[in-house]
Structure 1
């Protein structure tokens, strides 16, 4: 598997440039308008703050087994990545980069890496196998965990129609049959499941860089 090189921002920039030459301009304009709207709204005022204890919610593994969050993190410091789904190109860039550039540093520090999305387990399995991910990729049906952090959103009607142009229907991708997705977010928790750092990106094309996550974990410890 080819290692992902460069920052996430650089890789996203290259993806956007490629899409500009391939996708219909009117479709890209819809997504750009949605991103601008999300940026203008900013981080939700009700989003969780450091000091919040994450609930021990029931998640589903890529193989379809029920697992609890606290069991998965194993009583260790953890980095939990909330992403939209395997259908999202920006999520693919982020998770592959975390495998290559973040996971080694977390392993050295004795911390766990977990990725969570509202998609069905088969979507999680697709993501895990596609990028040879060596960390748990879990489903959060109904965005229960994401909802506890106040980071759930949904695409606009225009964006849903534009997604359909690419063959994406979130009601069939998501475990609960809705369009609801988390804002791309990375959190750092301690061994007691207390939130120590949270980085929310309303614009889903932006993501937390590995170096920033490692610095936050070091500060938390």
Structure 2
């Protein structure tokens, strides 16, 4: 197995969590814990588009404004899809960088990769430039595509206020005021558009290991 697949993504994410718990006051940490527990309790993880389902087609713009169609990508090979919250989320950025480092191996296997968030094209372009992302970052306006995958929830008012307090202005970053986000999710689609791999977590601190995803390519 290549060295880059031996590195645990979850270990990197757990380090972010550990550092956060050292630096952030307990009462503020409790806000995040409450939001995760409440979201998990909704059963959202059980309602995501499952393995074997036919994935919805999409046509979304990348960071340069080019229209990217899933139908076109699937003519070239299997497709890995990453749904993420935004570049403001350190867990999402760490995950995107892990996939950036594996992108060459994905292409060697004849597959493609896109990452999708509600963020505007401008924000996606910032992420591409800052983190050296080589695969398309696509703008899913109002998280409408993510909703078709069963991934979308609306942030409660208390968490909106928390994000504002740490200068995360989602209406500005996403270009609209719904406060809707996808739970982070990873999908692999076969060339026929059917789901070969599906994993999503209500806890934004948990992501699948890239090695598990690559195993189905």
Q: With structure 2 as the length reference, what TM-score do the two structures score? A: 0.89
**Pairwise CA distance, 1:44:** 4.1
Paired with 1:208 and 1:46, the residues of 2 have a C-alpha distance of: 18
Q: What is the match of residue 164 of structure 1? A: 164
> Residue deviations 1:111-170, cap 9 Å, x none?
001100011011111221221111111111122221111111122222211111110121
Instruction: Say whether the 8 Å CA contact 2:45–2:201 is kept in structure 1.
Output: no
Per mean C-alpha deviation after superposition, the further-off stretch among 67-76 and 137-146 is: 67-76
Q: How many residue pairs end up in the alignment?
A: 214
Paired with 1:71 and 1:24, the residues of 2 have a C-alpha distance of: 48
Per mean C-alpha deviation after superposition, the further-off stretch among 171-180 and 82-91 is: 171-180
Q: What is the match of residue 90 of structure 1? A: 91
Paired with 1:122 and 1:190, the residues of 2 have a C-alpha distance of: 30
Instruction: Say whether the 8 Å CA contact 1:77–1:189 is kept in structure 2.
Output: yes
Instruction: Say whether the 8 Å CA contact 1:43–1:200 is kept in structure 2.
Output: no
Instruction: Say whether the 8 Å CA contact 2:50–2:195 is kept in structure 1.
Output: yes
Q: What is the match of residue 10 of structure 2? A: 9
Q: What is the match of residue 153 of structure 2? A: 153
Asked if residue 115 in structure 1 is aligned to residue 153 in structure 2, the reply is no
Q: What is the match of residue 137 of structure 1? A: 137
**Pairwise CA distance, 1:84:** 0.6
Q: What is the match of residue 179 of structure 2? A: 179
**Pairwise CA distance, 1:109:** 0.9
Cα RMSD over matched residues?
2.1
**Pairwise CA distance, 1:86:** 0.8
Per mean C-alpha deviation after superposition, the further-off stretch among 111-120 and 19-28 is: 19-28
**Pairwise CA distance, 1:96:** 0.5
Paired with 1:37 and 1:215, the residues of 2 have a C-alpha distance of: 32
Per mean C-alpha deviation after superposition, the further-off stretch among 182-191 and 164-173 is: 164-173
**Pairwise CA distance, 1:79:** 0.4
Change (3 A) 1:67 1:175: farther
Paired with 2:6 and 2:156, the residues of 1 have a C-alpha distance of: 32
Change (3 A) 1:195 1:175: farther
Change (3 A) 1:186 1:35: same
Q: With structure 1 as the length reference, what TM-score do the two structures score? A: 0.88
Alignment of 1:190-205 (within 5 A): 190-205=190-205
Per mean C-alpha deviation after superposition, the further-off stretch among 49-58 and 155-164 is: 49-58
**Pairwise CA distance, 1:17:** 2.0
Structure 1 residue ranges without an equivalent (≥5): none
